Amino acid sequence: MSSEQDHLKETDTEARFEFKKEEKSAFKADKGLTEETIRVISEDKDEPEWMLQRRLRALKQFQEMPMPTDWPGQPDLSEVDVAEIVPYIRPDVEVRGGVDDWTDLPDDIKDTFDKLGIPEAEKNALSGVGAQYESEVVYQNMQERWEEKGVVFCNMDEAVQDYEDIVREHFMTKCVPPSDNKFAALHGAVWSGGSFVYVPEDVTVEMPVQAYFRMNSEGMGQFEHTLIVAESGSEVHYIEGCSAPKYSAFNLHSGGVEVFVGEDAHVQYSTVQNWSKNTYNLNTKRAIVEKGGRMEWISGSMGSKATMLYPSSILKGRGASDNHITIAFAGEGQNIDTGAKVYHNAPNTKSTIESKSISKDGGRTNYRGLVHIADGASNSSTAVECDALMFDNESTSDTMPYMEINESTVDVAHEATVGKIGDEDIFYLQSRGLDDDDAKQMIVSGFIEPITEELPIEYAVELNRLVELEMEGSLG
Amino acid sequence: MAAQLPANLSPETVRTLSEERDEPEWLTQTRLDALEALETLDLPDVIQTPGRRWTNLEDLDFESLVDPLGAEEATERVTAEGVEVLDFETALAEHPDLVEERFGSVIDPQTNYLTALSVALFTTGTVVYVPEGVDATDVKIRTEMNGRSLFTHTLIVTEASSSVTILESIETGEEIEGNRYHSNLVEVAAGENSYVQYGSLQNLSENTYNVTLKRGRADTYASVNWIEGNIGSRLTRSDIETTLSGDSSESKIVGAFFGHDDQHFDVNARVWHEAEHTTADLVTRGVLDDRARSVYEGVQDVGREAWDTSSYQRENTLMLSDDSEADASPKLIINNHDTEASHSATVGQVDQEDLLYMTSRSIPERTARNMLVEGFFVPVLEEIAVDELREDIESLVAARLRE
């Protein structure tokens, strides 16, 4: 390792993401997955009977479903052995559901989030912040003025108790049923923590709400559930960030995200994901969009050993629309298999997908997408654009879009390009006095700009910083 | 998924076919090996998304479709100066070594269930041999299918610095009751600096299941260009593939299809870039009417050693009916970063503004639509060097529009 990289290791960037804390938990489930484990988790959370029954049904589906192994060019999942996963760890916090004053957190947890910059982000520009440590939310805060308007932002376990009717109606029923895929079923069985966001009719939450997920323990699985219900005419922007330190054993992250976009409502969901490079990130995210509603997915996928994630939108009502903006960066040893799925199930629906990927030092990126235009979805349009940037000949970049069109009055376009980083561009920048690394850095920043400009400034800075670190090879 | 070996097929059937043609032992053995392999081989991959297979080859009832000893056909072969265009028996007699060396060298007979079935049972075949330095145009192979099933094999070998344009057409002669099966394998071995344009036109009756695999290998500086028009058949599964194995080799794949009623086209264009400075261009245009359905897969695979690759792909589908369905999956697989590659696919309907413009100039709406559909195929037709093929596709498209 060069002295420059050594130097970087000592800066706070290394400290920010890669530090580990001694495991300290109030309750830790046994490794592996049995009906008994599920009952213990549910009991520990004091859940209503219906939720326990949903968990047990999901467990059964998980056990019956095969691993996804027959997708062309998919990441290798042979290392993922659920029997080796600790599915549930309750951190040692006094107040269940998290404290609402930051200073009440145990010092080591507080220290963790301080290093990640969570309190600053809150102070700066957010309507509310939730922070999850291991399996439970440890901190939750919502500005009063939003609470007064009936906006709910709380952790998912609490929502099961306090907003039982809404949760019972929406939780893994229509949007992400456990039968969707093996890891959605796993999630349904062992889910814990996550966020619940409810925005009443015609309320606009002007500032983003944010949740941060942190895995600290070796060999654990994190399965947070996010449920967003935006009633007619409402508007909200939800941001999540995630990270985990690297251990010798693999970690599994298998979250579930369900978004209900009411009539003429607008939801933006932004993710900056930076799991450690031994984490398998097998997530299911989906939105159902009613008439005139608008869903926006913005994701930056930087970390993880392997990611399989295809956020999807079901455009259910006339005139519903969807925008996807994704960026994937795969460095050494990483395989980022990501994309977008859109189902046009009503007339006059619109979608755009913009996907950017960068592969470097043997990294693999894959865009895997599906656009489905159902019979009856007349006058629908979709445009898909994928760009891949490759640094070297050890890296791989694949594009696998699927388009199913059952309707004639449609406008469907897909375009993809791939290219190496331009020697001429680098030469030009070098001739203006930049060194090789800075030139490349600048080209990549320009390449991902369409993504960063959609994010609040703190996140844009964060994403740029992560890309910078990837470029320097100093992460994970 | 493996299909069953039809009960009416046995080694005796294959031996009978081989003996009737007085074939050498190696070919008999190749056929028998292919027959035996049927028990373990899978059908070719079809595109699958969760909950759905885009083409159901499993449903093909080979038992009732395949009648190996009842093949009836009429084949006309038009040769050009300096080129040998021979039926298989003659080729085996006159160039035994060439055929033995090249047969199965580009398409492994045991690639999948359908290729093995074809090799075991083919009764009609053509060998086109272009010696070094010969330039030939307008080689033609016209086949009329008359029986329940027909298996054919085409082998094209071009020596260094030669060139050839070939048109192969298949259509139905005598109509018969019930379903039919047609299979054609085309192998092109293009020698150094040679040029092959192979055009094919399929206009089989709409009770025919049609399966074709065309594969070429291009040596250094060689070009293998494919043109394919699919008009007829009940279901067509067509794969056109080129391996660019020599430095600076090129391939162009041009496809056109026009489906109506409940026709189903599963069209696949694939290129493997294995050497340096190779170029590929894939262009497909299709029109769908009534309940017709198309499935398109295009693959541009750039290998680790394929430095300085250029690879382009475009696919456009025009839908004339709400009951039709178009599926597309253009794939890029890039393992070398020194690559310029792009692909695009669009699906849409006849442009309403164009239509309005034309009807406002007092062209009847139906005529205007037909003109726009004919115009849609122009970019593909322009690529065709063989006049006869271009004119045939034009007139078949026009005929279908007037139906």
For A63-120, what is each residue's pLDDT tens digit? 999 888 878 888 998 888 877 777 777 776 555 556 666 667 667 667 766 766 665 6
Partners of B349 on chain A (C-beta within 8 Å) are 408-410
Partners of B323 on chain A (C-beta within 8 Å) are 375
For residue A64, CA distances in Å to A57, A69, A170, B343 come to 11, 15, 24, 39
Partners of B319 on chain A (C-beta within 8 Å) are 405, 407-408, 410
Beta-bridged to residue A258, according to DSSP, are A227, A286
pLDDT at A17: 52
A135 closest CA partner among A45, A34, A39 = A45
> Cβ A417–B329 below 8 Å, yes or no?
no
In 3-state terms, what secondary structure has residue B155? Answer: strand
More confident residue, A6 or B34: B34
Partners of A370 on chain B (C-beta within 8 Å) are 49
pLDDT at A12: 43
pLDDT at A25: 65
CA dist., res. A209 & res. A397, Å (int): 34
Closest Cβ–Cβ partner in A181, A391, A408 for B321: A408
In 3-state terms, what secondary structure has residue B353? Answer: helix
CB-based burial of residue A375 (10 Å sphere; 0-12 exposed, 13-18 middle, 19+ buried)?
A: middle
| Reported ipTM exceeds the 0.95 cut | no
* Placement of tokens 């449903």 in the chain: B59
Q: Is the pLDDT of residue A22 over 70?
A: no
Q: How far is B373 from chain A (nearest CA, A)?
A: 14
HSE-CB for B193 with a 13 A CA cutoff: 8
CA dist., res. B57 & res. B231, Å (int): 20
Distance of CA A261 to the CA centre of its chain: 18
pLDDT at A53: 96
Average pLDDT in chain A: 82
In 3-state terms, what secondary structure has residue B227? Answer: strand
In 3-state terms, what secondary structure has residue B349? Answer: coil
> Cβ B304–A393 below 8 Å, yes or no?
yes
Beta-bridged to residue A350, according to DSSP, are A321, A381
Q: In this complex, is the C-beta atom of A406 within 8 Å of any C-beta atom belonging to chain B?
A: yes
* H or E segment to which residue B27 belongs: helix B25-37
> Cβ B347–A402 below 8 Å, yes or no?
no
By CA distance, what is B54's nearest residue in A? A404
Q: Is the pLDDT of residue B116 over 90?
A: yes
Mean pLDDT for A268-285 is: 87
Q: How far is A232 from chain B (nearest CA, A)?
A: 31
pLDDT at B225: 97
Lowest mean pLDDT: which of A238-252, A302-316, B92-106, B114-128? A238-252
Round the CA-based radius of gyration of chain B to a whole number and report it.
21
Encode A134-154: b = buried (16+ Cβ within 10 Å), e = exposed. bbbbbbbbbbeebeeeebbbb
Q: Is the pLDDT of residue A212 over 80?
A: no
In 3-state terms, what secondary structure has residue B383? Answer: coil
CB-based burial of residue B50 (10 Å sphere; 0-12 exposed, 13-18 middle, 19+ buried)?
A: exposed
Residue of A399, A426, A443 to mutate, testing the B interface (most B Cβ within 10 Å of its Cβ):
A399
Beta-bridged to residue B342, according to DSSP, are A417, B312
By CA distance, what is A415's nearest residue in B? B344
Closest Cβ–Cβ partner in B321, B324, B347 for A412: B347
Interacting residues of A453 by C-beta distance below 8 A, sequence separation 6+: A460
CB-based burial of residue A466 (10 Å sphere; 0-12 exposed, 13-18 middle, 19+ buried)?
A: buried
Q: What letter represents residue B1's amino acid? A: M
| Torsional class of A194: left (φ above 0), alpha (ψ -120 to 50), beta (otherwise) | left
- Spell out the SS3 assignment of chain A: CCHHHHHHHHCHHHHHHHCCCCCCEEEECCCCCCHHHHHHHHHHCCCCHHHHHHHHHHHHHHHHCCCCCCCCCCCCCCCCCHHHCECCEEECCCCCCCECCHHHCCHHHHHHHHHHCHHHHHHHHCCEEEEEECCEEEEEEECHHHHHCCCEEEEHHHHHHHCHHHHHHHCCCCCCCHHHCHHHHHHHHHCCCCEEEEECCCCECCCCEEEEEECCCCCEEECCEEEEEECCCCEEEEEEEEECCCCCCCEEECCEEEEEECCCCEEEEEEEEECCCCEEEECEEEEEECCCCEEEEEEEECCCCEEEECCEEEECCCCCEEEEEEEEEECCCCEEEECCEEEECCCCCEEEEEEEEEECCCCEEEEEEEEEECCCCCCEEEEEEEEEEECCCCCEEEEEEEEEECCCCEEEEEEEEEEECCHHHHHHHHHCCCCHHHHHHHHHHHHCHHHHCCCCHHHHHHHHHHHHHHHHCCCC
Q: Is the pLDDT of residue A18 over 60?
A: no
Question: Do B169 and B392 contact (CB within 8 A), yes or no?
Answer: yes
Neighbours of A472 (CB within 10 A): 15
pLDDT tens string A386-425: 888 888 888 999 999 999 999 888 888 888 887 777 677 7
* Placement of tokens 């039919």 in the chain: B180
- pTM for the structure as a whole: 0.85
By CA distance, what is B299's nearest residue in A? A400
What single-letter DSSP state applies at residue B112?
S
More confident residue, B202 or A114: B202
Q: In this complex, is the C-beta atom of B268 within 8 Å of any C-beta atom belonging to chain A?
A: no
Q: What letter represents residue B337's amino acid? A: H
Q: Is the pLDDT of residue B1 over 60?
A: no
Banded model confidence at residue A6, pLDDT cuts 50, 70, 90 = very low
Pairs of residues, one from chain A and one from chain B, whose beta carbons lie less than 8 Å apart: 114
Mean pLDDT for B87-111 is: 97
By CA distance, what is A374's nearest residue in B? B325
Banded model confidence at residue A369, pLDDT cuts 50, 70, 90 = very high
pLDDT at B68: 87
Q: In this complex, is the C-beta atom of A185 within 8 Å of any C-beta atom belonging to chain B?
A: no
Mean pLDDT for A178-198 is: 91
Closest Cβ–Cβ partner in B338, B339, B347 for A405: B347
> Cβ B331–A400 below 8 Å, yes or no?
yes
Tokens of B202: 């399929």
Mean pLDDT for A51-59 is: 95
Q: In this complex, is the C-beta atom of B317 within 8 Å of any C-beta atom belonging to chain A?
A: yes
> Cβ A393–B337 below 8 Å, yes or no?
yes
Average pLDDT in chain B: 94
B9 closest CA partner among B59, B68, B70, B64 = B68
Partners of A422 on chain B (C-beta within 8 Å) are none
Lowest mean pLDDT: which of A246-260, B92-106, B253-267, B310-324? A246-260
Banded model confidence at residue A122, pLDDT cuts 50, 70, 90 = low
A212 closest CA partner among A161, A275, A298, A170 = A275
Q: In this complex, is the C-beta atom of A430 within 8 Å of any C-beta atom belonging to chain B?
A: no
> Cβ B326–A417 below 8 Å, yes or no?
no
Mean pLDDT for A287-308 is: 93
Q: Is the pLDDT of residue A160 over 80?
A: yes
pLDDT at B261: 96
CA dist., res. B165 & res. B195, Å (int): 8
Lowest mean pLDDT: which of A268-277, A371-380, B154-163, B289-298? A268-277
pLDDT at A9: 38
More confident residue, B22 or A244: B22
For residue B146, CA distances in Å to B46, B150, B238 come to 29, 8, 21
Partners of A395 on chain B (C-beta within 8 Å) are 337
Mean pLDDT for B267-271 is: 97
CA dist., res. A390 & res. A397, Å (int): 7
> Cβ A413–B346 below 8 Å, yes or no?
yes
Q: Is the pLDDT of residue B357 over 70?
A: yes
> Cβ B328–A405 below 8 Å, yes or no?
yes
pLDDT at A5: 40
For residue A96, CA distances in Å to A44, A52, A93, B328 come to 11, 19, 7, 51
> Cβ A413–B342 below 8 Å, yes or no?
no
Q: In this complex, is the C-beta atom of B351 within 8 Å of any C-beta atom belonging to chain A?
A: no
Q: Is the pLDDT of residue A459 over 80?
A: no
